[in-house]
Structure formats: C-alpha cells, structure tokens
C-alpha cells in the first residue's frame, strides 16, 4: 500500500513538473511572437490563472498563423496573380486619377495602400446598387442565379438548410443540371447545420461544394479559430454580390428576441466583378485543389459606362498585413470632415481606437451606430466597454433599437465607402478571412449617407450623463468582456 501511494505521489509530481515546463515553454512562445502587448498579456493571464484549460484554449484559439504562414499555398497563388498588375497601377496611379475630382484624388493614398498591402486592383468602370436587408438582397441574388448560363461562384460563412437556404440550393442544383458550372464554398464552423445528406444531394445534382477548413474530431484542428467570414456571389462574371448577409431565414425574418434583422449588401456590375471573383478563385484553389484561370471573369465583364472607382479588398491569416484594418485606420486617421461607421460588434485594437478618438478631438464629425441588443451577449458587453472613452473624446454614439443591426459599413468625408463582411473587431481584422468593397465615388457615398441617416432615425443617442449612471454590475461585466476581446 505504501509503495503504491509513493508511486502515485511520484507520478503526480512528475505530471506537475511536465505541465509547468509546458506552461513555461508556451509563455515563451507567446512572448517571442512579438504580438500586440495587450493580446500577449491577455493570453499569459489566461494560461497562468486558468490551469490546463488555458493551455488548451491557446492551442486551439491563440496561435498566430499569420506569422507562421500555414496558408503558404493560398498566399502564393494570390500574390502570383496580382503582384505585377498592382505594382504597375501603383506607379501610374497619379495619371489614372488625373481626370477625377479633387475629393477622389484626396483619397489616392488609400488606393496606393491597398495596391501595396493587398494587391487590390483599382477598377474604374462599375455600377453599384445598395441593397438594404434580406428583402432586397435575396431576391436580387436569386434573380442573378436564375439568369446564369456559364458559372456560379458562391462563398458564404453561413448557409442554412432552411427555407431560404433550400431556395438557393434548389436553384443552384437546377442550374447545375442545365450544364452551368456551380461552385460553392461554405465555412465548416459557420455552416455547422449542414449535414452530409445535404452535401450529397448537391453533389449528386452536379454542384461542386467544399467546406473551408473542416473541423473534425479527434484531429479538431487548431485552425478552428480561423474562419472564412466572406460573403461572395459571382454569376457568369457579369454580376457580383458582397456584403454582410449570410444565407439563412433569420437574415430575412429576424429573430424573435431581437426583432428585424437589419443589414447591407451590394450588387456590382463592371470590372469589380472580376476582382471579386479573384478572391473566390483563390479560396477555391485552397479548398478544392483546382486552380482555375485567374482572369476567367474578364471576358464576361459588363461595360457599364459608369465611372465608379472600386477596389475589392480581402484579408485573413494568409495575408502579410491586416489589410482591411490598415485601410480603415488610414481612412479614419486622415479624415477631414466626417466619419460614419456602423458595426454590430466593436472590439478595435489600440491603433484604431486611438485614430477614432483623435479624429473626434480634431473636430471631425465622428458618429457610430451599434446595436442596443445583440445576438452575442459577450460581444455586446465588450462593445459597450468602449462607449465611455469614445464619448469623452467627442464621438457620437447611437444605439439601434428597431431590431438587430448587422450592417458593416464605413463612410469617410462623403467620398470613401466600405461595405462588406468585416466587423470592426480583432477577429475580423486578424483571424477571419474577410472581403469588402472600397468605393471612391461621391454618388454612392451620398446613397450610403442617406442610409446612415435613415438608420439614425431608429437609434437613441447615448450621452455621457446617461452612460455614467450605469450600475456597477454592468460596468464589471463590460470590463471583464473587454479583457477577453483580443482573444476571440
């Protein structure tokens, strides 16, 4: 008995020593990654104060894959296709913009930034339709699918096999049977409800469909934290769609406890469709191993005759830089008159938060819309933790009350607009694969400004006096949620 007890004691001590060594090594790894100090400190605290679970969480959610370049194949494909064109455009940018207005030329630094950090080609001939909510976006997308004669490229974070999801899938299956090349990418975590019978049904009809970074037990890849949050539809290379909506009934009908679902999407014709398709093709190469011609959409491009400058920007763990965050930072930091921003989740890094506060303190009209009630309690608490310091800097904060606002758009100086999939949070800027349309056009900016004004009608403005009256319990939970903000 004594011998057995001693053996157990020795094993326990040995396991403890092994665990402590592992914790020490992991802490060194985190420090030597040279991340943002706030994120480094957050992970160190989790590992040190949440034994065992903290190590597991770091393994699955904390590793920095942008540094480790695990998506090398995809990154190389993207760069090889675009680097030459982008560098040429950057050199000739001043001549390309020679005939543009002073307002558009004042944003040339943003165009140059995206040409350098993301190889986002500047397209000149485009027509952009602003689609508000699922009631406008879904019929427009379904009409485009019904008109397909050559190919359909569809990529969404969430596709649900519910009513609207089946309407999309049945139409795509019919088109595949007619001989249209139908290619579909869905995120394996975002589309968790998709089951094998649904996939088999699609494939039996001729639809090529693949999950993005599938997560399977027991391997349960540590890449579970890196998800494809993009929303892309390209039909025949003639029309494209990008924005904040996924394919599920809730995006059309809302949620019982939140009310209507409010969102923003774009319908695009012109040269930007080919740019949007390039993002899909790079992802398709990654998930399927089939490398399609990079400029297959160019021969189908619709010449709109409408001068509208657009760059399609993508970002993710496969890019050298947090590209969308960088263009947001630059646009906000160089704003002259106004910044209007709508985001359902708000958890910025320190640089973006400082840029917003500095702009407001400099006299720029900074207004931001957040949802009053959210589909994520922790994310909502995290968002609220930033409100007081924004108010103190002169930022005007509005909480949307007529449902859940999921729109993701930025409007700067009534000339630069961004509408797409990224939220203004660390996850979108660092962890997820995102895509957005950057639009340099006064007419579109006017339309987006009208939408912002309409959204404001359903908001209540927050004042410092009102916000300072929150009870201590609310403040504690917001502060706690903010600590974990850099981790998810």
Active site residues: 229, 231, 236, 406, 408, 413
Distance CA 268, CA 240 (A): 5
DSSP β-ladder status, 231-235 and 404-405: unpaired
DSSP β-ladder status, 261-262 and 404-405: parallel
Q: Measure the CA angle with vertex 342, ends 338 and 346; round to 5°.
A: 110
With H, G, I as helix, E, B as strand and everything else as coil, classify residue 356.
helix
CB 413 within 8 A of CB 470: no
The C-alpha R_g of the chain, in whole angstroms, comes to 24
Distance CA 421, CA 431 (A): 13
Q: What residues contact residue 231 under an 8 Å CB cut-off, 6+ apart?
A: 155, 156, 157, 241, 242, 243, 244, 245, 246, 265, 420, 421, 435
Distance CA 440, CA 80 (A): 26
Q: Exposed, middle or buried by CB within 10 Å (0-12, 13-18, 19+), for 298?
A: middle
Q: Is 346 left (phi over 0), alpha (psi -120 to 50) or beta?
A: beta
Distance CA 298, CA 427 (A): 33
CB 438 within 8 A of CB 110: yes
- For 131-159, letters b (16+ CB in 10 Å) and e give bebbebbbebbeebbeebeebbbbbbbbb
Q: Is 63 left (phi over 0), alpha (psi -120 to 50) or beta?
A: beta
Distance CA 219, CA 176 (A): 34
Distance CA 431, CA 64 (A): 9
Q: State which H helix or E strand residue 399 sits in.
A: strand 396-400
Q: Is 34 left (phi over 0), alpha (psi -120 to 50) or beta?
A: left
Distance CA 58, CA 27 (A): 10
Encoded tokens for 474: 């609310």
Closest by CA to 130, choosing from 239, 241, 229, 232, is 241
């Amino acid at each position: 008995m004594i011998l057995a007890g001693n053996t157990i004691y020795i094993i326990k001590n040995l396991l403890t020593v092994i665990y402590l060594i592992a914790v020490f090594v992991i802490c060194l790894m985190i420090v030597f990654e040279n991340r943002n100090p706030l994120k480094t400190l957050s992970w160190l605290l989790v590992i040190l104060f949440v034994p065992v679970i903290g190590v597991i969480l770091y393994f699955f959610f904390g590793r920095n894959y942008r540094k480790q370049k695990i998506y090398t194949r995809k990154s190389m494909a993207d760069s090889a296709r675009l680097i030459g064109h982008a560098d040429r455009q950057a050199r000739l940018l001043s001549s390309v913009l020679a005939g543009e207005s002073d307002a558009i030329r004042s944003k040339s630094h943003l165009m140059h930034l995206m040409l350098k950090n993301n190889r986002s080609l500047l397209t000149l001939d485009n027509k952009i339709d602003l689609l508000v909510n699922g009631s406008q976006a879904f019929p427009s997308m379904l009409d485009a699918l019904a008109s397909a004669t050559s190919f359909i490229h569809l990529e969404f974070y969430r596709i649900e096999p519910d009513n609207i999801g089946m309407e999309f899938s049945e139409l795509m299956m019919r088109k595949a049977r007619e001989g249209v090349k139908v290619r579909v990418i869905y995120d394996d975590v975002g589309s968790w409800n998709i089951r094998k019978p649904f996939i088999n049904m699609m494939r039996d009809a001729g639809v090529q469909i693949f999950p993005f970074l599938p997560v399977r037990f027991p391997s349960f890849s540590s890449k579970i934290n890196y998800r494809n949050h993009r929303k892309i539809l390209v039909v025949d290379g003639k029309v494209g769609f990008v924005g904040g909506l996924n394919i599920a009934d809730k995006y059309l009908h809302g949620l019982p406890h939140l009310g209507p679902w409010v969102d923003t999407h774009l319908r695009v014709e012109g040269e930007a469709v080919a740019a949007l398709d390039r993002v899909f093709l790079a992802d398709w190469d990654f998930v399927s191993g089939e490398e399609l011609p990079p400029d297959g959409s160019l021969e189908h491009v619709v010449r709109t005759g409408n001068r509208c400058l657009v760059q399609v920007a993508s970002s993710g763990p496969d890019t050298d830089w947090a590209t969308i965050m960088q263009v947001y930072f630059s646009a906000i930091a160089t704003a002259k008159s106004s910044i209007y921003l709508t985001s359902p989740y708000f958890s910025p890094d320190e640089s973006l938060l400082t840029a917003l506060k500095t702009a407001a303190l400099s006299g720029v009209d900074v207004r931001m819309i957040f949802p009053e009630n959210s589909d994520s309690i922790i994310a909502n608490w995290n968002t609220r933790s930033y409100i007081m310091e924004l108010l103190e800097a002169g930022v005007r904060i509005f909480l949307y009350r007529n449902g859940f606002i999921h729109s993701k758009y930025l409007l700067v100086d009534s000339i630069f607009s961004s509408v797409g999939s990224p939220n203004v949070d660390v996850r979108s800027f660092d962890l997820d694969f995102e895509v957005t349309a950057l639009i340099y056009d006064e007419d579109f900016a006017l339309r987006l400004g009208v939408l912002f004004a309409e959204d404001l009608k359903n908001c209540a403005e927050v004042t410092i006096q009102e916000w300072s009256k929150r009870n201590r319990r609310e403040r504690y939970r917001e502060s706690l949620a903010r600590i974990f903000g850099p981790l998810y």
